[in-house]
Amino acid sequence: MGAAYFYHLTTASVEQTLPMLLEKSRAAGWVIEVRGTDTGLMDRLDQVLWQGPPEAFLPHGRSGGAHDADQPILLTCGEGAANAPTCVMSVGGADVTADEVQASERVCVIFDGHDGDAVAKARVQWKTLTDGGCSAQYWSQESGRWEMKAER
């Protein structure tokens, strides 16, 4: 049974934060779906992952390719990633369900703390997932470093 981790971004962007989370998740041996709702954001994230230093390369692909099932990190705009993820990372307000949290090692909800709509969406997701029986942690970088602010 997994858990949902909420990452409230206040000092770094998703483009800066995602590679760190992906690196830690891959080190744990997880197969990851990065789920978004906006193809423009997914294009930017794809470019960020390709432009990283060679020693920190994170192998990944965009959904819709011939080898989606083989991708250790698959960037998608929708549910049901072909790579059978053990970790789902929601960006840009992409939905995740309590069933997905229960079936995964981890679900990460990454949201922009400077966007009122994103904060409101994350609050709804927190309530929906915890009401659905999922354990959850809320992490903030408000102080300049990551701190867990709530756990349920």
Q: What pLDDT digit, counting tens, does each position of 30-63 carry?
A: 999 999 999 999 999 999 999 978 888 999 999 9
Handedness of CA 110, 115, 121, 126 (dihedral sign): positive
- Going from N- to C-terminal start, the domains of the chain cover 3-100+112-151
DSSP letter string, 3-56: EEEEEEESSS-HHHHHHHHHHHHHHTT--EEEE-S-HHHHHHHHHHHHHS-GGG
Q: What pLDDT digit, counting tens, does each position of 84-140 carry?
A: 999 999 999 999 999 999 999 999 999 999 999 999 999 999 999 999 999 999 999
By the 8 A CB rule, do 86 and 75 touch?
no
Classify residue 144 by burial, with Cβ atoms within 10 Å: 0-12, 13-18, 19+: exposed
Q: What is the CATH number of domain 3-100+112-151?
A: 3.40.50.10110
